[in-house]
Amino acid sequence: MGVFAALGRGGRTSVSPLSIVGLSLLACLPREDLASYSTSSGGAGGTTANPPATGGSSTDAGGEPGGSAGTEGNPADVPLEPDDMGSLADASAGDAGNEQDAAAPPDAGSGDAGFAANQCAQNQGALVPDTDVCLIFVAAARVSWNAASLGCQSRSATLVSVKTVERDSFLSSLIDTDIWLGGFDPGASAAANAFVWRDQSAVDTTMETWAEGEPDGVADQFCVSKAAPEAGGRWRDAPCTELKAYVCERTF
């Protein structure tokens, strides 16, 4: 039937004897043999199972976008380019340096000017030049000498000691009102003028920082004060119950 159908269109088709024989043989083959013949034919169209990888881009191989032969799977498995290696090395070195900086404890040793300056600033004080001594001016207070002494103790400090003219000049640059100094007379006689600093060292009553005629040894004047710079900044002995601002001294 297949042979006559192929020959019957118009009746003018020219077919060679060999073609007729071949078609006759195909018509006699079972369907299973025809299916085997079509899939094994090297020149037949259709799909070829499992095409070999070409090593090209994913679009050439029919894969998903972004993939290519030999680079599928975990992105961490992809070898790094030299530039990438250099960038990662620099980043790692930077991270390691940051970790070392973060792990290094601050230098808390006394005598470290940087440490003392930072601590003094945190306490709202001023560092005496070339020392680790911090002076803290408590400007808002107007208290007695005893209350000022207690106020300094609450700051882990003491009322300021001034043993040199240079320290007194620096102190003048910090204040704008009368203040209590750390000097006091622990005796019972004001006339003795036996003033000492908080470390029990003697106050030099001959320093030029004293006002004229001071200390005068008047009764009940057992504490040392300093006038505001506008008033000359001189020292005098005064009743300890007067109300003044004060300056604390703390060493870091």
Cα separation, 82 vs 62, in Å, equals 30
Q: What is the mean pLDDT of residues 45-66?
A: 40
Using 50, 70 and 90 to split pLDDT, how confident is the model at 163? Answer: very high
Q: Binning pLDDT at 50, 70 and 90, where does residue 25 land?
A: low
Do β-strands 244-251 and 179-184 pair in parallel, antiparallel, or remain unpaired?
parallel
Angstrom distance (rounded) from CA 216 to CA 193: 8
Contact 195, 223 (CB under 8 A): no
The tens digit of pLDDT for each residue in 171-192 reads 999 999 999 999 999 988 878 8
What pLDDT score was predicted for residue 191? 84
Q: Between 200 and 12, whose confidence is greater?
A: 200
Domains observed in the chain: 1-37 (no CATH), 125-251 (3.10.100.10)
For residues 186 and 149, is the Cβ–Cβ distance under 8 A?
no
| Short-list 233, 196, 193, CA closest to 215 | 193
3 state DSSP class of 202: strand
pLDDT band with cut points at 50, 70 and 90 for residue 23: low
Q: Is 131 exposed, middle or buried (0-12, 13-18, 19+ CB in 10 A)?
A: middle
The model's confidence at residue 219, banded by pLDDT at 50, 70 and 90, is: confident
Question: Per-residue pLDDT tens for 85-126?
Answer: 333 334 444 444 444 444 444 443 445 678 999 999 999 999
Residue entry with tokens 């269109």: 9
